[in-house]
């Protein structure tokens, strides 16, 4: 049994957020889905291995400490188990961005966007990376795309505040 928030239901699959990592389960892997509270779900499916849980915990610990280079091996381990994790690719991009390895950050953002093209956090990081690289045209385009993507999300308080900030920057 895996517990987490369902972030996407698609044709024959379900994506869940487990401790900040997006996991994809296919229809033939899922026995049942039970609602447990407002947005928590229990999915009867193959469990997340203790090793992957440990990798997630270590990644979070290193992120909190700002030790991005130490988080990279754990994120790579997560991707070995779940190669379609948008969150893991985005997290790698954030690591490389903070280490000022902008080309590596772009490589990870491309993978994140390949899996989920409309992911606004990835688009925001495209904007930041292109800006650091001095590619102002691409940075502006990424900022516009992130605003468009954010407008398509749930109008939560945080999303609306972020949208206001991005629109102000884009002026």
Reported as a pLDDT band with limits 50, 70 and 90, residue 14 is confident
Rounded-to-integer distance, Cα 12 and Cα 6, Å: 14
- Look at residue 80 and tell me whether its pLDDT is greater than 70: yes
- Look at residue 41 and tell me whether its pLDDT is greater than 70: no
At residue 32, the pLDDT reads: 61
At residue 99, the pLDDT reads: 97
Q: Indicate whether this model's pTM tops 0.75.
A: no
135 exposure class (CB count in 10 Å sphere: 0-12, 13-18, 19+): middle
| 119 and 55 part of one domain | yes
Residue 34, strand partner residues: 42
| 73 and 153 part of one domain | yes
Cβ pair 40, 28 in contact under 8 A: no
Cβ pair 95, 115 in contact under 8 A: no
> Which CATH number covers residue 111?
1.25.40.10
Rounded-to-integer distance, Cα 48 and Cα 9, Å: 19
Cβ pair 140, 124 in contact under 8 A: no
| 14 and 59 part of one domain | no
At residue 66, the pLDDT reads: 94
165 exposure class (CB count in 10 Å sphere: 0-12, 13-18, 19+): exposed
| Rounded mean pLDDT, 1-28 | 70
- Look at residue 156 and tell me whether its pLDDT is greater than 90: no
At residue 94, the pLDDT reads: 95
At residue 56, the pLDDT reads: 85
75 C-beta neighbours (distance < 10 Å), count: 27
| Rounded mean pLDDT, 98-106 | 97
| 86 and 165 part of one domain | yes
Residue range of the domain that includes 115: 49-170
| 69 and 82 part of one domain | yes
Total structural domains within the chain: 2
158 C-beta neighbours (distance < 10 Å), count: 9
């Amino acid at each position: 049994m895996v517990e987490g928030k369902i972030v996407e239901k698609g044709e024959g699959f379900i994506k869940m957020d487990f401790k900040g990592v997006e996991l994809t389960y296919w229809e033939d892997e899922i026995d049942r889905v039970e609602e447990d509270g407002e947005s928590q779900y229990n999915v009867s499916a193959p469990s997340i291995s203790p090793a992957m849980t440990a990798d997630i915990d270590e990644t979070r610990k290193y992120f909190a400490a700002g030790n991005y280079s130490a988080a990279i091996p754990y994120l790579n381990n997560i991707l070995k188990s779940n190669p379609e994790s948008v969150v893991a690719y985005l997290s790698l991009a954030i690591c490389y961005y903070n280490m000022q390895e902008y080309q590596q950050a772009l490589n990870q953002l491309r993978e994140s966007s390949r899996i989920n093209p409309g992911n606004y956090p990835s688009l925001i990081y495209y904007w930041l990376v292109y800006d650091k690289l001095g590619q102002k045209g691409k940075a502006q385009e990424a900022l516009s795309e992130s605003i468009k993507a954010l407008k398509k999300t749930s109008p939560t308080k945080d999303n609306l505040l972020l949208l206001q900030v991005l629109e102000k920057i884009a002026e």
